[in-house]
Chains A and B, each alone.
Chain A
Amino acid sequence: MNRPPATARQGSGGADPVTGLLRTVAGTRSGADAGLIRRAYEVAAHWHQGQQRASGDPYISHPLAVATIAAEVGADDPTLCAALLHDTLEGTSYTLAALREEFGAEIAHLVGGAMAADAVPGGQMAPSHPGPAREAVASADARILVIKLADRLHNMRTLRHLPPATQLRTSKQTLEILVPLARGLGLDAIRSELENLASGALHRYGPSAATVPGRLLAAASALLPAATRNRWCEEWLGELSVLPTRRQRASFAAQTLLGLARLAVILHRSAGRKQEYR
């Protein structure tokens, strides 16, 4: 949808992806260390080589987009480098010590901080543990929070590639934690985009998404081919939302689940023939 231009150029084999980022930086401030930013990009690209996003894009498109969002709000060089490097320590043999040696203590501190904040409020924060999450957030360097916000914003922009259950969980958490955080930091453009994307996703699935039958159906839709999941999940949650009684909703969910295996077989069989959604 509205991907930053730097990302769109990824994989086209054309222009240098860092140039777009540097142009964004130049639009908000002067005196950027282009060499340092380029080096951070190259190290990140090296470690993410062969990795992919859920969208099928090369993984490096994500840190690049995160850095671009950070640049748009005027982030300094260490923050931009940390944004580029923020995922390099996960699932690779790269270490924080090696990163510190290569980029210095300040950037390492930001990357480590972004990771630590991730471990608590990130991917799968259980709703029962909001306390530590908020504390981690409250005690962090504001620049780490900018990275987290930019990270979440790009994840929200590309949310449709994830399973419906994840979309719902991430959107809910975005509204509860990230939106107030952006407001607190005075990052209004990020706040309003996060808010629109998250409430849009929740609205699309309707109020039944928060109910037990709704969550069951959203989770079960993970069995369907990725390209068709959102459509069926949205359809079922829509039907759920108009059933008047709890009993009818439970029965609809149970019956739909009974037919799920058959539906999955039918849809997977034709996975070659791509079905258009939306």
Chain B
Amino acid sequence: MTLQTQLVLRAMLAEPAAERYGLQLCAETGLPSGTIYPIVARLEQLGWVHSSWEDPHEHVAEGRPRRRYYRLTEEGAQQARDALARAYRPRNKPRFGPGVTWPDVSGRSR
């Protein structure tokens, strides 16, 4: 998992039930839009993130086009916590060696 993806997940986990639009994610992570969109697209494919259009009564009242909102799915929030926990683990221990069983560096199987 890339550092940028970790930043996005951490930002979303700060309020796991909240909906965020693209510019908001840019602001919360300090990442440019060109980095954010591929990440959320990938997370959406994995089922970690769900996206949907804003309700008409909100954007019509404000006189602007509707927004696309992203939020963590329940499974996504859990997966994200696990993935971040793994990513935070200290890496100064030998990863392979006698007596060391290092679980799951790929982040795939659990």
Contact = CB atoms under 8 A, between A and B. Distances in A.
Contacts, number: 65
A258 B45 contact: no
A206 B41 contact: no
B34 A256 contact: yes
A100 B10 CA distance: 70
A266 B33 contact: no
A93 interface: no
A255 B26 CA distance: 11
Contact of B33 (A237, A238, A255, A267): A255
Nearest to B69: A235
Contacts of B95: none
Interface in B42-63: 42, 45, 53, 59
A199 to B, nearest CB: 13
A242 B41 CA distance: 22
Contact of A263 (B41, B59, B68): B41
Interface string A208-245: 00000000000000000000000110111111011100
A92 interface: no
Nearest to B32: A255
Nearest to B53: A278
B45 to A, nearest CB: 5
A259 B68 contact: no
A273 B23 CA distance: 27
| Listed residue (A239, A242, A258) with the most chain B CB atoms within 10 angstroms of its CB | A239
A73 interface: no
B35 interface: yes
B22 interface: yes
Contacts of B37: 232, 256, 259, 263
Contact of B65 (A231, A234, A256, A260): A234
B91 interface: no
A204 interface: yes
B107 interface: no
* Most chain A beta carbons < 10 A, residue from B34, B38, B45, B68: B34
A258 B64 contact: no
29 contacts: A203-B65, A204-B65, A206-B64, A206-B65, A235-B22, A236-B22, A237-B65, A238-B65, A239-B21, A239-B22, A239-B33, A241-B64, A241-B65, A252-B23, A252-B33, A255-B34, A255-B35, A256-B33, A256-B34, A257-B34, A258-B34, A259-B36, A260-B34, A262-B34, A262-B38, A263-B37, A266-B42, A266-B45, A270-B45
Q: Which 3 A-B pairs have the closest CB atoms?
A: A259-B34, A206-B65, A238-B65
Given A242-B23, A266-B38, 5 more contacts: A206-B65, A243-B23, A255-B33, A259-B38, A278-B53
